[in-house]
Structure 1
């Protein structure tokens, strides 16, 4: 059993950080092997890439107290507007508004434990929840021709992805095919999907099928 670490006088937390010697497998590793991963070609109008080298944390609590802690630890404030997405740390980290008291924090692989520990130390006895959900979901990137990416998404989600309604810096939870996902647009050149591990293979195969007309390719270099 993991050793209990007492950060405050109100509750115990546990060191759940995986050891460096523990093998880890991305949610799409099985899919690449069993469903195939067509390499990008010169005529590929859409390229899919799993960004498996990321850790995911859910932050829940009061916006003011969490914002102060996040600023101290990460040097960036919480998104304050609904559906707002903030990209930082050279594009490899992000903070996304999910609800009035919930945010998704994505950081480089291996940093979740450090970030969580530092946040808890700053927060002290504040009533917040920080959950490491890295093993339960993954981040998938789509890049390529703008119109092809939007047409692929229009075949997959009911949400309006026109630039007037979905500018860069926005992220929403959507129904995708017969599952759900978080759809994000970090900048003009790419889209991102946060998908649950249990539906990763289904949505991966859906995207391959829906993207066939665009000669979709899969970039395995994450």
Structure 2
């Protein structure tokens, strides 16, 4: 039965009129800013020495967590496992798959020293793609984003426009995804819109 509940994302409150004013590039835009909508975002914390932890994650998700710094396992499709730290990963899934995967992980790790946290509704995912995407990010990020250093399949925690984010380069186009806490999502979106004006920005919503 329909209970009238409508799920709203962190960026749903941005006025469409503001976006229309920002869209200067049209089909000639060299950068596209996208609200990537709802996706499963599950944080996993487990001991790097715990082989059973790695085996269980692999059995449930089809992916084995990387022990290599800033490396993403899987992708560009779903699921993906983003390395966040020596014993922490972010699992990104299709929205409709997150509940099943979360249940499987929770049941598998009962009584174990493993933490599984569903952050799906706590974070927005903003996409930045196009020829000038790297230039826009460089305006507010101190990371070296040159393709020789940060390439497709790389992820890291960093500051962007003074906001703490998780930055993931999905493809070589380049196409980036930015995971940002919903409290700062609107601020970051507006910062990116402003930073992209000189490049003929285009915005896309679900």
Q: If the length of structure 2 is used for normalisation, what is the TM-score?
A: 0.89
Q: Name stretches of at least 5 consecutive residues in structure 1 with no aligned partner.
A: 1-18
Show the 5 A alignment for 1:1-222.
Answer: 22-33=5-16, 35-37=18-20, 38-39=22-23, 41-63=26-48, 64-88=51-75, 91-145=77-131, 148-189=132-173, 190-221=175-206
CA RMSD of aligned residues (A): 2.0
Structure 1 residues 20, 48: closer, same or farther in 2, change over 3 A? farther
Which whole-Å CA distance do the structure 2 matches of 1:188 and 1:151 have between them?
14
Of 121-130 and 192-201, the range deviating more from structure 2: 121-130
State the SS of the aligned residue for 1:141: strand
Query: Residue 175 of structure 1 contacts residue 181 of structure 1 at CA under 8 Å; is this kept in 2?
Result: yes
State the SS of the aligned residue for 2:60: helix
Q: Name stretches of at least 5 consecutive residues in structure 2 with no aligned partner.
A: none
Count of aligned positions:
200
Which whole-Å CA distance do the structure 2 matches of 1:215 and 1:199 have between them?
24
Of 76-85 and 117-126, the range deviating more from structure 2: 117-126
Which whole-Å CA distance do the structure 1 matches of 2:133 and 2:44 have between them?
30
Tell me what 1:13 maps to.
none
Query: Residue 155 of structure 1 contacts residue 210 of structure 1 at CA under 8 Å; is this kept in 2?
Result: yes
Deviation string 1:191-214 (CA, Å, 9 cap, x unpaired) is 111111000011000000000001
Shift of 1:21: 6.2
Query: Residue 84 of structure 1 contacts residue 97 of structure 1 at CA under 8 Å; is this kept in 2?
Result: yes
Deviation string 1:135-189 (CA, Å, 9 cap, x unpaired) is 11011111111xx111111112111101111121111111111211111112202
